[in-house]
Amino acid sequence: MMAKLHADHYADSMHQIDTPLKRNDQIGEGTFLIRVAAEPLARTLVPGQFVMIRLSGTNAPLIGRALAVYDVISDESGVPKWIDLVYLKKGTFTTALAESPLDTHVTLWGPLGNGFANRACDRLIMVAGGIGQTPMLLLGREALGTQNFGDEDRANGWSPVVEFIYGARRASLLAGVSDFEQAGFRVTLCTDDGSQGQQRLVPDILCERLEELKDSGESIRVVTCGPEIMMEKVAEACQATGVDCQVSMETPMACGIGICFSCVAQVRQDGPEEWDYKRTCVEGPIFDADQICW
């Protein structure tokens, strides 16, 4: 019998808006931050969710691109009004976006995907590589209890300590570091060439931290986003030490709402040998690391 298609995060509650760019600032090498008014999304999204975005009024490119929500900004009365997205200039869409002047209109649809779990722990360690830092700012703030997201029932303040291990090829590619420091996270930086922080790879730093903390008696959670090989190594380190780990998958997406199956990943079901293709846009992009067939 065919398995029934099911996902908890179909886009029934998404909003589609057309909105002008209010910021489009370079914050690192090839890395830009855009700000747009997007109140319906800003009020409802949770950390780890994403939006699909395209340039309004043009078919080049036709298909939207997924971007994680980097920040949510409220007005003076505390109402969430704007969202920030951070992108690396890489190909067709991001190059066109980087060249777009302020007030260029973009079309967004979201919030999409499931978002990170907010399971309580003593210490949350967020591990990011490349442009994988983008979903981490909101998650860390929620964990520390300094910003609320989603509906009133969603718990915040679920981890008293938040660490952020963040690596890139070189210093100029590390983007938004001051945001993470100001948020109160314990930040450890590394670069492949040693131009900033330690000259090591993020999974190696994580392994060392897990070793240091192994007799602490603390419950530790790890979340990770970045190149797949990096996430695989992070997942291995967590599995070896019995640490709860979630990954944010960045498989290329076309529709973002569960229709096209372009975004599938091999995800384990009931046992190590039982897997199925899951759509990362509606069944992810966040998965427990031990579910992923790397």
Ligand X SMILES: Cc1cc2nc3c(=O)[nH]c(=O)nc-3n(C[C@H](O)[C@H](O)[C@H](O)COP(=O)(O)OP(=O)(O)OC[C@H]3O[C@@H](n4cnc5c(N)ncnc54)[C@H](O)[C@@H]3O)c2cc1C
Q: Could you list the residues that contact ligand FES (CB under 6 A)?
A: 253-256, 258-263, 279, 281
CA–CA distance, 67 with 76 (Å, rounded to integer): 26
Closest CA to 290 of 252, 241, 251: 241
Closest distance to ligand X from the beta carbon of 87 (Å): 4
Task: Give residue number: closest CB to ligand X.
Answer: 91
254 makes contact, choosing from ligand X, ligand FES, none, with CB < 5 to 8 Å by partner type, with ligand FES
258 makes contact, choosing from ligand FES, ligand X, none, with CB < 5 to 8 Å by partner type, with ligand FES
Helices (H) and strands (E) in the chain, counts: 6, 14
List 174, 250, 255, 291, residue binding ligand X (CB under 6 A):
250
Report residue 208: phi and psi, to 5°: -65, -40
Closest distance to ligand X from the beta carbon of 277 (Å): 15
Closest distance to ligand FES from the beta carbon of 174 (Å): 29
CA–CA distance, 277 with 59 (Å, rounded to integer): 30
Element spanning 186, H or E? strand 186-191
Query: What is the SS3 assignment for 209?
Result: helix
What HEC string does 216-247 produce?
CCCCEEEEEECCHHHHHHHHHHHHHHCCEEEE
Nearer to ligand FES, 172 or 251 (CB): 251
DSSP classification of residue 268? E
Binding positions for ligand X, 260-289, rule CB under 6 A: 285
131 binds ligand X (CB under 6 A): yes
91 makes contact, choosing from ligand X, ligand FES, none, with CB < 5 to 8 Å by partner type, with ligand X
Closest distance to ligand FES from the beta carbon of 19 (Å): 22
Closest distance to ligand FES from the beta carbon of 237 (Å): 29
Closest distance to ligand X from the beta carbon of 249 (Å): 7
Nearer to ligand FES, 261 or 294 (CB): 261
Long-range CB pairs of 89-97 (<8 Å, 24+ gap) are 89/30, 89/31, 89/32, 90/30, 92/60, 92/61, 93/53, 93/54, 93/55, 93/61, 93/65, 94/32, 94/65, 96/55, 96/60, 96/61, 97/24, 97/32, 97/34, 97/55
Binding positions for ligand X, 42-101, rule CB under 6 A: 50, 65-68, 86-88, 90-94
Footprint on this chain of ligand X (rule: CB under 6 A) = 50, 65-68, 86-88, 90-94, 131, 134, 250-253, 285
